[in-house]
Structure 1
Amino acid sequence: MNKIYNLTLTSIIIVYLVILAGGIVRMTGSGMGCPDWPKCFGYLIPPIERSQLDWKANHQYNKDEIIILGESLFYAIDNFNSEKEINLSNWNKYTKHDYSKFNVYHTWIEYINRLIGAVAGLSVLVLFIYSLKFFRSKKSITLLSILSLVAILFQAWLGKTVVDSNLTASTITIHMLMAVVLLFILFSILALSKPIKPSVLPKNVSILIIISIVLLVIQILTGTEVRKFIDIQMELFNYTERNKWIENITNTFSFHRSFTWAIVLINSLIFLKLKNLDIQSKLIYTIITLIFLQILTGVIMYYFHFPFSSQPIHLLISTLIIGLQFYFLSLYNLKKNATKI
């Protein structure tokens, strides 16, 4: 494998780690563990005790560091040393949202999620810098690398928006879809940078794969709607009594569950067509395996009351399926442009 391929593959793996970490953040209700962005309570390394967020006399405060007063967050306007009594002229009330709780586990789960996101950003930046050397010989790789950098910067901004909005459902959904778009861009670079043996993929098979990808996007969107309901139930029951989380579940869940069969059907058709064409690909076997694992995790969540990590794994598998399908499609449709680098 060549260097651009390795760099792209590394970026893809890290993006999937971000998706997994994001799923854990949501499952544990840790999304507001850091109420500000990009820092956490105004610190590069977040606090480990609630007392660290209390106002202190004769203490050195740095700009943007946060304290909790009553039920509100306040941030330091500038660097200063506190006196014996609090002087509110040194502080501004944090008004982007009214969430002011501190939970050390939530804070560090969200912080680790952000650290992995930062590593993903650095990985894409390295990919972009390295791709510049191919601007004349292989412009498509350079342009896609630029696009991936723009996409991950936009994704970071969306992350800020999610926090500022106190985790509104619409911003979380857009954040998730943008991650899928970023994966599509990276998988396109991966396909272009990997030479493949000449092979003909019939147009009707390509169309079936495109339909499957569209169906998977719909499935992810309906899944986020189901997740909204579960999030509300989790808070309602204070993250306990898991058996009650699916009480009075919406019709979207029934659609989401039944829609799985459409995905199974079309991918079975793709598999049979490729087999008849004698196109041997480990990717297709991997995708089929992942689809059944996806169904299995869905069954486990429903009948075993959302055991720990089942939700982020369910999300990870769904994005793996859609990413690998897009890669397979790109690999054959971009094969004429594939080059050794």
Structure 2
Amino acid sequence: MSAGSGATGVIDGLQCGRYDAALLSQMRDSGVRAVTITASFWEDAMETMDVLTRWNDTVRNAPDVALIARTGADIDEAVASNRIAIVLGTQNSSLFNDRIGFVEHFWNMGVRIVQLTYNIQNAVGSSCYEPHDSGLSRFGHEIVEEMNRVGMLVDLSHVGERTSLEAIIASSRPVIINHANARSIYDHARNKGTEVLDALVARGGVLGVCTYNNIAGDYAATLDGSAELIAKHVELLGVDHVAYGSDLDPNAPADNIPWMRQGRWSRKTQHGASRPDLAPPPEAWIDNFDFHKFGAVRDRIVERGLLTSDEAEQVFYGNWKRVYDEGFVPLDAQSGAGNGAEK
């Protein structure tokens, strides 16, 4: 295990690849203890259910390799039994088919994290690429409230600035940004501004720092750069509010990126987070962006004295675990509903 001596391992806040038992075994053996997968980008309710069916089949056929985590305790079970915990998530709220009741249905099917918008406006709110962010819609307020109620985490990674801020304020529970960075550290439309991050921290949320080259720039070029990127976010936000979210897409088919960027909504080339005016990154960068290197980045942070071993463990494991322990529990199952945050 490359996770490092005495370390629990790594929880990755977001991936979007294609998985089978062999790949899951490799991830587990590399030290990844839990990962949030992307069950849908643009898919509707039925299509997302098809993906969930495939995940049920994959895990059922490899019971010694993986389990689907519906609670934080399931991650503990995965660690204890040397399996990888799969957290079912989506990068859009399209699975709800604009029906408030579908939030609870998908929670019952195991979905625990939903991003409110992906790369375009939807009925909930605006994406980070819209020329005008119209904010969280009335329906969006209903969705956030319902997700809070059932125990489904609100993710804001691709969400526009105004919509993100309004969602954080509307939520009675901490929200997450599971794969993005601070715009003050690397200026990109997909990264988050100071006002959003201040609100996230004030209400107990967590940012999954992302070493994806398009939104991390030169920090993604080396393991040391990735270590520095994470340490800078800890300095900016505090160690309680920083985790890791790779946005890795292992084993993805060639058409995965066009599907992510343009879906069914456009006939034009959509660049997503990429910069068409910049050359693609060198292969060495891509080699650094790999689940085998997650533990190495964490260990490099400690070796360089950027964080203590306990702080690095908190960033790469403990903060997501805390958020999942608390966030996956329905409000009516908690003693004293809500997160105690000032409203």
TM over 0.5: no
TM range (shorter): under 0.3
Richer in strand (by share): 2
Instruction: Give the structure with the larger helix fraction.
Output: 1
Task: Please identify the structure whose Cα radius of gyration is greater.
Answer: 1
Report the TM-score, using the length of structure 2 for normalisation: 0.28
